[in-house]
Amino acid sequence: MSRSCFRSRDSHNIWMTGAGKSWFSQAAMLAGLPLSTWVREASISGDSLSISRSFETKEADKAFRLLVNLSVRFLIAGGARTGTVEQTLAATAQGISDGTITTAKQLLEALDKVVPKDPEFEEEFKVATVSQAYLARYYLRSLEMNVKKQPDPSFIPNDDQQVINLEHILPENPEDSWPEFTPEMAAAFYRRIGNMALLLARSNSDLKSVAFNKKKKVYSESSYELTHQLATFAKWTPESIAQRQATMAALAVKTWPVVVK
């Protein structure tokens, strides 16, 4: 099963009211929302599928929080899923439609056998690459919120690109100041999550392809903890990226848990 199975290619319009609306918008932003797959695979209309209509308010809120976390896990580790995924998604969609699934706990139980578990998710996160900037910003901001012990780290209320920029420590076109990377290595590591950081737009405007030892000063002054930590690295190498990403992977398991509280 390819990861594209979990990504919505077409716009979808599921109208709803109540507590789940903001969480649904968050999940839809991830472009890996299982609901959109359910609509396609099970041919169930958006209105009949709407969790906010089928679930009590508190349960709808829990369900959409859960779907945000599941969407991230499918996006990161969904590539190894089997053909049972479509069947499970269709059956779960039908359960929501006919009223046999009415709680977040029942939703998780219905999806449990196809959800990437913690060890798999962590291992896949260690080597994950991200091509879409909006997804990378979402991942980094969620991890940042978890580091700072803020509530609901998987929920990001906004993503203002005029304020927050996505920084690639190793630039896309490294020059002579990056001797640790051959062109082939640079291409392989540029889009690794461990090579990305958040910076205020004004801090990122002049960095471009400057050497790591010059970038470190900017990182050290960042209010983002994960970015600030970059200043502790003596140099930036493939091993540095792998080390940082392994730390982020362990944090990711806690940021996007598969639990219902």
Tens digits of per-residue pLDDT, 230-254?
999 999 999 999 999 999 999 999 9
Query: Using CB atoms within 10 A of its CB, is residue 200 exposed (0-12), middle (13-18) or buried (19+)?
Result: middle
251 lies in some domain: yes
Secondary structure (3-state) at 1: coil
pLDDT of residue 4: 35
Average pLDDT over every residue of 206-233: 90
Residue 185 scores a pLDDT above 70: yes
pLDDT of residue 237: 96
- The alpha carbon dihedral of 131, 157, 115, 15 has a sign of negative
Question: What count of Cα atoms within 13 Å lies in the side-chain half-sphere of residue 176?
Answer: 0
| Structural domain boundaries enclosing 18 | 3-116
- Could you tell me if 190 and 257 are in contact, meaning their C-beta atoms sit under 8 angstroms apart? no
Average pLDDT over every residue of 203-215: 78
DSSP secondary structure letters along 154-222: T--S---TTTEEEEESS-SS--TT-TT--HHHHHHHTTBGGGEEEEEHHHHTTTTT--HHHHHHHHHT-
Secondary structure (3-state) at 19: coil
**pLDDT grade, residue 7 (50/70/90)?**
very low
139 lies in some domain: yes
- Same domain, residue pair 141 and 249: yes
Does an H or E element contain 126, and which? helix 118-126
Residue 28 scores a pLDDT above 60: no
55 lies in some domain: yes
Domain tally, the chain? 2
- Same domain, residue pair 62 and 139: no
pLDDT of residue 122: 98
- Same domain, residue pair 137 and 106: no
Q: What are the pLDDT digits (tens) for 56-87?
A: 888 888 888 888 888 889 889 874 455 677 78
Residue 148 scores a pLDDT above 50: yes
pLDDT of residue 248: 98
261 lies in some domain: no
User: Which stretch of 5-9, 18-22, 165-169 has the lowest confidence by average pLDDT?
Assistant: 5-9
Residue 42 scores a pLDDT above 80: no
pLDDT of residue 39: 36
User: Which stretch of 15-19, 64-68, 141-145 has the lowest confidence by average pLDDT?
Assistant: 15-19
- Same domain, residue pair 94 and 151: no
pLDDT of residue 235: 95
- Same domain, residue pair 70 and 110: yes
Distance CA 207, CA 178 (A): 14
Residue 165 scores a pLDDT above 90: no
pLDDT of residue 241: 98
Q: Which residues contact 98 (CB under 8 A, 6 or more apart)?
A: none
Q: Global pTM?
A: 0.80
- Same domain, residue pair 155 and 218: yes
Residue 3 scores a pLDDT above 90: no
125 lies in some domain: no
